[in-house]
Structure 1
């Protein structure tokens, strides 16, 4: 379980394809504090630490993960948003984030707004994921509030702190991002679909 509050921006230092798996090595200031088997969210994708070496650690993404996220597009030196799993008893500063990406989206517009930024994203509505105005959304692991919600897209407003402490500062038109929709909203939508709520 995660909160969507990014702890560090890691840098991809090595990528190794092995059959359908991608082994990803990340350089991060929090690497020395990690241990093998620990869960870390990478652009919002929960992966297990499999090796730690000084200021670098490695994780493995399988085919299912690569098919549903933007991790397969990573290149050496790319920035990755990182968050360790919550500790029991921590404050929930963002919202409930599982680290299970629902689908990707494409950045369609970036607007500088006199001290903040507005990013607009489009996604495939055929997968039946929804946003609501002022609801929660996780983009590359970052907990954010939806504005301008519509059937196949939405926008978010980014404050300077978030812009400089996440990989949002690398986004441009065409950037592919990971989306995790609000878990409570997903359950409500499923109940409606099953006819359990009228």
Structure 2
């Protein structure tokens, strides 16, 4: 588990194909690895990876075919900058929100515009994730815990303050860029809980307006 508060920006040092998947070697910059051990989890652009080798300022991790298919890690090039965060502990301040490091899908930067000293971004999420994104709710974008300012369909807006622009890779975001999205854990589990016994049915039995109305949610009185 992570908090979505980026601890350092690293760079991709090496990318090595390995039998259908890849191994990444990442220079960690100012990330503190003194307490890290092989097998520990480190979030890379919001993706939870397992360290398979460690140096004082670098680590390597294997990236499976499943992760390559669902995230932007397969598009990385040597030299790309990466948001890094080590796993939280029971003494870690929860400055962001609970983040699992399990990416739900890829979003796209649609628009970027200045807003006083901040930058405002509009993003498009996959249609399948739109129902989990709520105004003033939390979302994790490339490993950064952020607040959703506005939602319209599958598009939403975020406002990035100067510190976050400087301390993460978000300052590099431009329209057309693909980013890793992880929706709020509470939203995902709430959907499953509301399904009740229907959750055991084969895939395809998700929440619908008809289902909610039949079970007393949103019904007119």
Provide the TM-score with structure 1 as the length reference. 0.94
Aligned to 2:99: 97
Q: Which has the higher strand share?
A: 1
- Gap regions ≥5 residues in structure 1: none
What whole-Å deviation, never above 9, does each CA across 1:96-135 have from its counterpart, x for those lacking one? 1111100010101111112000111102213565211000
Aligned to 2:161: 159
Provide the TM-score with structure 2 as the length reference. 0.84
- Provide the rounded CA distance (Å) in 2 between the counterparts of 1:116 and 1:37: 38
Whether 2:105 is the aligned partner of 1:113: answer: no
**What is the RMSD of the two structures over their aligned residues, measured on CA atoms?**
1.7
- Provide the rounded CA distance (Å) in 1 between the counterparts of 2:150 and 2:118: 16
Q: Is the 8 A contact 1:45 1:141 kept in 2?
A: yes
Aligned to 2:88: 86
Q: Is the 8 A contact 2:130 2:153 kept in 1?
A: no
Provide the secondary structure at the position in 2 that maps to 1:2.
coil
- Provide the rounded CA distance (Å) in 2 between the counterparts of 1:80 and 1:181: 20
Which structure: larger Rg? 2
Higher relative contact order (CA 8 A, sep 6+): 1
Aligned residues: 198
Say if 1:126 and 1:185 are closer, same or farther in 2 by CA, change over 3 A.
Answer: closer
What whole-Å deviation, never above 9, does each CA across 1:143-186 have from its counterpart, x for those lacking one? 00001112312111000000000000111011110000000011
